[in-house]
Amino acid sequence: MFKDSFSFAHFRNRLAHVEALPQLVLLGILSGLASGLVILAFRLLIDLPLQAWLPGGQSENFEALPIWVRILLPIAGTIAIALMFWKLLPATRKVGVLHVMERLSYHQGNLPAKNMLVQFFGGAIALLTGHSVGREGPAVHLGAACGSLVGQILRLPNNSLRILVGCGVAAAISAAFNTPLAGVIFSMEVILMEYTVIGFTPVLVASVTAALLLRMVYGDESAFTIPALQIQSMTELPFVILLGILCALVAAAFISLLLQTQKSVTWPLGVKLLTAGLLTGIVAIGYPQVMGLGYDTLSDVLQGNMGLTLLIGLLLAKGLLTPVVLGLGIPGGLIGPTLYIGALTGAAFALIVAYMTGANHSGVGFYAMLGMGAMMAAVLNAPLAALIALLELTANPNIIFPGMLAIVVASTTVRFFFKQPSIFLNQLYVQGLDYRHEPLTQALSRQGVSSVMSSQLIHSAMTISTETAMQILAQKPEWIVLDDSQGQPRYILLPASLEQFLAHEGELNDVNLEQMLTLTEVPAVRKDIAAIGINATLKEALDRMNQQQLDALWIQNYSKEITGIITREHVEHFYTQKIES
């Protein structure tokens, strides 16, 4: 009842405009709350069972399991995932950050609820059974889907769906790492790939809302234990640069291995999943630390509690296993494993430097933390998000300068020397999909059709009397909509053309009010039209015109009635104004 009220109709109509900031802030709160609740349920679904049956009541203590359990557990998990996927259509099996980006680029941010459920339970099974994946990728999908579904349920314009997806993504990262600002930057830098004031504010509100909700349950502690960190001397800066280069090499290898696995392994899905489970079980025989999230292991690395041999062994095991199992289709995330691998790289580098130079340096934890940021920046092509994550995780401004140096070196090396963009963009390119956002596309995607449409129109049959034509003109419409015999709009006629025709006829003859006029034959500016929904963006409208070789569309409201007209000139005028401003 409320949705159909005048106030809500006005609220929804305002969202078609770019400057609808108050409305978007309210929706950001709602999206952040919905995303936070779903991600809280996702985390509890994983944490509570693991705490109940893993030794010591610790949710990450896979290391204490017998060897035969470590082998069979991931295999059982892949069997369960395969059975869940068995009856699903291929489109419904798509999950993760990649699915979010695809739906943003090709479906106006409309994320299906079915895929969300597949991600919820598939990701939970993968993590409960010890697969070498993260929970952050599934959380991003769940958060984005929550934001999108809020917009779909409320039947909001498609231009606002994009921002709501960004709100959900920010809320997800905020809830996963307890880093609300990094969530905002990740959403803008990796997913939306744009920074605007209108987009930034609701995304920020959503991230804070989700963070508050999760802190009420889990407290405000970081996901892993981090010691006090500070660079001891500026003479260590060359080592920081070398670490950035090393992380770039590891990141390039990680990206390449995942992509090659995804492209080259063409086995049936069930075989791929079982292979992933078998590989995880085999690796877990010698390195059980690769199982699950591994945040307990990450805390040990940051505290400097691991020797060089174990660090290098874990780096090889995690660095080779994770991209392979993800490429084989395990529905988990790669953001958490990226931080894990980066920390191992940084810690091993610190021990090697100390051994080779014999000099004291800032500590293993310091270089491990820099490795985390550098690896995240290089793999995700998100340098600013990585830097903000370092700052929020450590709560230490001293990490900023060395963090910036390591991150810039790593991301620049991967981007320009290895020619690798974000791993997600790489995966889209492998599937033949594009995620470019030219300025024209971005501007038109932010504006709804109802914000520029002509709403002063009047319907007419195709054949009318002269008297009726004069009565229509007396109402001064912007367009005359010509309906067919079934009452469906077929053409639009410019009133000035009809008025000019009648004036010309009046000069030649006395006006006969009873004379019948066929408006499809009158010399006039006429345009063929087709329907488009009122929730569409200007980008969708322009695409529809180009596909159907039209110059105008009629806007269909939720009751399937015509509510306005949009022409190619409307779209061009809007973009011209944007350029001039």
Distance, CA of 29 to chain centre: 18
Instruction: Name the E strands within 381-428.
Output: none
Looking at the predicted structure, is the pLDDT value of residue 198 above 70?
yes
Rounded average pLDDT over 444-453: 88
Rounded average pLDDT over 432-447: 76
Q: What is the domain class of 6-225 according to CATH?
A: mainly alpha
> 148-187 b/e with 16+ CB inside 10 Å = b?
bbbbbebebbbbbbbbbbbbbbbbbbbbbbbbbbbbbbbb
What is d(CA 571, CA 581) in angstroms, rounded to the nearest whole number? 16
Give yes or no for a contact between 502 and 469, defined as CB atoms under 8 angstroms apart: yes
Rounded average pLDDT over 309-316: 97
Q: What is the pLDDT of residue 5?
A: 45
**pLDDT band (50, 70, 90) for residue 581:** low
CA angle 121, 125, 130 (to 5 degrees): 155
The DSSP H or E segment spanning 225 is: none
Rounded average pLDDT over 398-412: 94
What residue ranges do the domains of the chain occupy? 6-225, 234-430, 444-580
Q: Which fold has domain 444-580?
A: CBS-domain (3.10.580)
What is d(CA 281, CA 19) in angstroms, rounded to the nearest whole number? 53
Percent of the chain with pLDDT over 70: 95
Give yes or no for a contact between 373 and 390, defined as CB atoms under 8 angstroms apart: yes
Structure-model confidence comparison of residues 531 and 581, the more confident one = 531
Q: What is the pLDDT of residue 223?
A: 67
Q: Tell me phi and psi for residue 218, to 5 degrees.
A: -105, -5
Residue 399 contacts by C-beta under 8 Å, 6 or more apart in sequence? 229, 230, 369, 370, 390, 391
Rounded average pLDDT over 91-98: 95
Q: Between the CA of residue 480 and those of 197, 388, 454, 497, 524, what are the distances in Å?
A: 39, 55, 11, 11, 11
Looking at the predicted structure, is the pLDDT value of residue 276 above 60?
yes
- pLDDT tens-digit map of 35-74: 999 999 999 999 999 999 999 889 899 999 999 999 999 9
Give yes or no for a contact between 378 and 248, defined as CB atoms under 8 angstroms apart: yes
Looking at the predicted structure, is the pLDDT value of residue 427 above 50?
yes
Looking at the predicted structure, is the pLDDT value of residue 423 above 80?
yes
Structure-model confidence comparison of residues 362 and 214, the more confident one = 214
Q: For residue 448, what is the DSSP state?
A: B
Q: What is the pLDDT of residue 150?
A: 96
**pLDDT band (50, 70, 90) for residue 575:** confident
What is d(CA 142, CA 120) in angstroms, rounded to the nearest whole number? 7
Give yes or no for a contact between 215 and 340, defined as CB atoms under 8 angstroms apart: no
> What DSSP assignment string belongs to 465-477?
EHHHHHHHHHT--
Q: What is the pLDDT of residue 81?
A: 97
Q: Between the CA of residue 1 and those of 5, 151, 391, 563, what are the distances in Å?
A: 7, 17, 46, 21
- List the beta bridge partners of residue 59: none
Structure-model confidence comparison of residues 175 and 69, the more confident one = 69
Q: Which region among 15-24, 157-166, 361-370 has the lowest average model confidence (pLDDT)?
A: 15-24
Looking at the predicted structure, is the pLDDT value of residue 508 above 50?
no
Helix (H, G, I), strand (E, B) or coil at 463: strand
Rounded average pLDDT over 2-14: 65
- pLDDT tens-digit map of 227-257: 777 777 788 899 999 999 999 999 999 999 9
CA angle 173, 175, 178 (to 5 degrees): 90
Give yes or no for a contact between 107 and 91, defined as CB atoms under 8 angstroms apart: no
What is d(CA 393, CA 198) in angstroms, rounded to the nearest whole number? 27
Neighbour-count burial of 121, counting CB atoms closer than 10 A to its CB (0-12 exposed, 13-18 middle, 19+ buried) = middle
Q: Do domains 6-225 and 444-580 have the same CATH topology?
A: no
Structure-model confidence comparison of residues 446 and 32, the more confident one = 32
HSE-up (13 A, CA, CB side) for residue 576: 6
Q: Which region among 325-334, 367-376, 439-448 has the lowest average model confidence (pLDDT)?
A: 439-448
Indicate the angle between helix axes 67-86 and 113-128, nearest 10 degrees: 170
Q: What is the pLDDT of residue 394?
A: 86
Q: What is the pLDDT of residue 488?
A: 85
CA angle 527, 533, 534 (to 5 degrees): 100
Residue 520 contacts by C-beta under 8 Å, 6 or more apart in sequence? 462, 482, 491, 526
Q: What is the pLDDT of residue 2?
A: 41
**pLDDT band (50, 70, 90) for residue 4:** very low
- pLDDT tens-digit map of 468-499: 988 999 899 999 999 888 888 999 999 988 88
Q: What is the pLDDT of residue 505?
A: 67
Note the pTM of the prediction, 2 decimals: 0.89
Instruction: Tally the residues of the chain.
Output: 581
Distance, CA of 516 to chain centre: 57
Q: What is the pLDDT of residue 360?
A: 65
Give yes or no for a contact between 553 and 532, defined as CB atoms under 8 angstroms apart: yes
Rounded average pLDDT over 134-161: 94
Structure-model confidence comparison of residues 177 and 142, the more confident one = 142
What is d(CA 519, CA 552) in angstroms, rounded to the nearest whole number? 18
Q: Which fold has domain 234-430?
A: Clc chloride channel (1.10.3080)
Rounded average pLDDT over 510-516: 70
- The mean pLDDT of the chain is 90
Give yes or no for a contact between 450 and 157, defined as CB atoms under 8 angstroms apart: yes
Residue 497 contacts by C-beta under 8 Å, 6 or more apart in sequence? 522, 523, 524, 525, 526
**pLDDT band (50, 70, 90) for residue 523:** confident
Rounded average pLDDT over 454-479: 90
Rounded average pLDDT over 427-431: 89
Q: Tell me phi and psi for residue 381, to 5 degrees.
A: 55, 50
Residue 197 contacts by C-beta under 8 Å, 6 or more apart in sequence? 21
Give yes or no for a contact between 449 and 534, defined as CB atoms under 8 angstroms apart: yes
Percent of the chain with pLDDT over 90: 65
Q: Between the CA of residue 363 and those of 348, 349, 350, 371, what are the distances in Å?
A: 11, 11, 7, 13
> 292-320 b/e with 16+ CB inside 10 Å = b?
bbbbbbbbbbbbbebeeebbbbbbebbbb
